[in-house]
Amino acid sequence: MENEKKNPAGLLPMLVFLVLYLGLGIIFEYVMKIEMGFYNIPIVLIILVALLVACVQNRAVPLDEKLVIMGKGIGDKNIITMLIIFMMAGIFVGVVGRSSAESVAYFVLSLIPARFAVVVLFVVSAFVSLAMGTSVGTITLLMPIGCAISQGSGFSIAMCVGAVVGGSMFGDNLSFISDTTIAACNGQGCKMNDKFKENFKIALPAAIVTAVITLVVSMNVSISDAISGEYNMILIIPYIIVLVAGIIGINVFWVLLLGIVSGSAIMLCTGSVNLPDMIANMGVGIEGMYETSMVAVFVAALSALMAANGGFNALIDIIQRTFKGKKGGMIGIGILVAIMDIATANNTVAIIISNPIAHKIAQNRGISGRRTASLLDTFSCIAQGVIPYGAQMLVALTVCETMGIAVSGTTVMKYLWYPYMLLISSLVFIFMIKNTNDSKQ
């Protein structure tokens, strides 16, 4: 890093974004007493302001060159993949609609006591995301069911969102086919099964504690003991198809396509909707993903400019100088990738950016490649699982809005028990590690 540009001022756009987003949210929600204050903040506008700040920095670089830098950031494979998933997710939600999700929810509630509905939602989300390797795909498939369970059982929608998002991050962190696993293992030169074993010791205790917390809180929520509603078994078929496909481990694109095709056929054959209305519903579903897609695009452009302006290198340098020793190195790696995730709102991108310097820290501090890969994946998922402007949260809230339910990301944050438990589990794991050199293990 000696010859690389280091400029702490390059982090100013991220600071501007966080101050404006969180500051306005606090003012709206708690000072002006506006209901759903955070929900009323136009996040795309805030990101555009931060992007403008990044553009006016480093005047030695012409605007045209800055546009090229932003274009390269937006053109990253991970960004394009996310955008396609968002669009397909919107179509799927538009096709199956509320009636299909409600049928699934009431069917589930007919099989299990209502008290266990949110716990089951968390466990199913964890299992499906582990098989699919994508948190966004899992949220897309299960959040409509979560909305219907909330409306049918009396549990708050924020709690149901927290269960789905938390469960989805479990698989995102552990799955062999997750982008984060692939990026972390490739960057650190370790085998995926070795990284999985290292990760599992951290993630499983966090998941068990989360399930217990969810169950305890569920017991204290006032709901009807017997919850019933009409459901049509035929309308459940699209969800059965996508869940089975996800559990098998089929690529999320094919899973969503199967859901769209099967849902369209069933809705048309049962007379639930006619062809013109179905096409219109698909369009509405896509429109519902526009804001989420624009956030992904602008954040990618913003992070590319911050990196070019030297902000990321300055941050990396500070972390290297601050944290000493093996345990300090592990904490430094965790903080590094978490901050990168907060800045980019993309855990895969955060890992890719952090990989080179994390490898250097690991070599200097005697940390094995599998442990470094585990730390990168885990701490990026912790950050990604709680930021209110991340793709996971935005998709979940967008699906809720499509289902006719309004909820803010900050309201959900207090129910994101799994990321918080994962953080505690990670710190316990780090401080229990003996200070021996394991870099060759």
The two tokens of residue 393 are: 């949260």
Residue 440 lies in a domain: no
Task: Write down the pLDDT at residue 421.
Answer: 96
Please, which contacts does 18-24 make with residues 24 or more away whose CB atoms are closer than 8 Å? 18/342, 20/46, 20/49, 20/50, 21/46, 21/388, 21/389
> What are the CA-CA distances from residue 414 to residues 166, 190, 206, 410 (Å)?
11, 35, 16, 8
Q: How far apart are CA 276 and CA 271, in angstroms?
A: 12
Residue 391 lies in a domain: yes
Residue 438 lies in a domain: no
Q: In the predicted model, is pLDDT for residue 436 greater than 60?
A: no
Residue 76 lies in a domain: yes
Residue 3 lies in a domain: no
Domain count for the chain, please give it. Answer: 1
Mean pLDDT score of the chain: 81
Residue 441 lies in a domain: no
- DSSP reduced 3-state for 274: coil
Tens digit of pLDDT for each residue in 85-126? 778 877 877 887 666 656 666 676 677 777 888 998 898 888
Residue 176 lies in a domain: yes
**How many C-beta atoms lie closer than 10 Å to residue 113's C-beta?**
12
Task: Write down the pLDDT at residue 438.
Answer: 62
Which range among 291-295, 310-314, 371-375, 424-428 shows the weakest confidence by mean pLDDT?
291-295
Residue 37 lies in a domain: yes
Highest mean pLDDT: which range of 110-114, 269-273, 344-348? 269-273
Q: Which residues form the domain of 165?
A: 8-432
Task: Write down the pLDDT at residue 350.
Answer: 79
Task: Write down the pLDDT at residue 3.
Answer: 47
